Amino acid sequence: MAEPRPMTVSAVQITAVDGEKEATVEKMLGFLDVAGRRGSELVVLPEVWTGLGYSEDKAYAEIAEPIPGPTTALLAGKAREYGMYIVGSMYEQDGNLFRNSSPLIDPDGNIVGKYWKTHLFDAPNRTDIQGGIRESDKVVAGDTLPVFDTVPAKVGVSVCSDLRFPEIYRELALNGAELIVCASAFLSPRFDHWEFFLRARATENQCWVVASGQYGVEPKSGIAFVGRSMIVDPWGTVVATAPDTEGVVTAEIDLAFAEEVKQRYPLMDQRRPDMYQTIGREKADVPLYRD
């Protein structure tokens, strides 16, 4: 068996309220204190945790800020105070562009990199959401899937609807990710989707998954979220789940367990990429879309 590699991870679950960014940030800083006192080495925040941005057409633009910027500076202070990594999604203003951005802040308070959400949530015909949602009307999609080499582990980052695309997680795993975070605002009532996607992504890629979600109903837009932030091991077992409230879920994990799972069942060694000819093709070249 591999030498144990313990790591303490946390996921923070909140209800972010549009138009109350200052109070929301202050609340998050309090939860980061909780995670820090628990000895967390990595803390995962939800998607667009500084504000959902769906209460009005341009609400996201009012919430957005440059990265680095004032909010990441506050996160950097907590990262330095407790010696931990912090990652989560927020609206970034990049010149005239807006992005769903996940900066990774290291224990020295430095932004070591960013992940820009690649698979935006466009569901204009959702009958349970007034007016539907087209995230691509607000932000520009990213086009890279970085894996960050942190001191405890190689970390991949995903955001919410990315979870429905197994190709993302396989790409991260093949590039060495031992732990993949999912910063989410996963819509209620799809708890069943949320849990089995997280378990499937962890199991099929034999890596740890740490997922944080927004919780409850955002009062300005009326949009509801699953919450249930959770930590899943490489065997697909949920080792910790947040209750139905705002708060912090924490667990000590063993990164070496991923190596043990890979020895039990060497899935990656048994891949046959020569057979997967359609996955990387453009839509026009895929039989599903041909007349």
- Beta pairing partners, 85: 42
- Closest listed residue to residue 88, CA positions, set 35, 127, 39, 124: 35
- Give the whole-angstrom CA distance, residue 177 versus residue 193: 23
**DSSP code of residue 66:** -
DSSP character string of 110-167: -EEEEEE--S--EETT-TTSTT-EEGGGT-PPP----EEE-SS-EEEEEEGGGGG-HH
**Contacts with 67 (C-beta within 8 Å, 6 or more apart), sequence order:** 90, 92, 101, 103, 111, 114
**DSSP code of residue 187:** B
Q: Is the dihedral of CA 219, 129, 92, 87 positive or negative?
A: positive
List the catalytic residues.
47, 117, 160
Residues 158, 148 contacting (CB under 8 angstroms): no
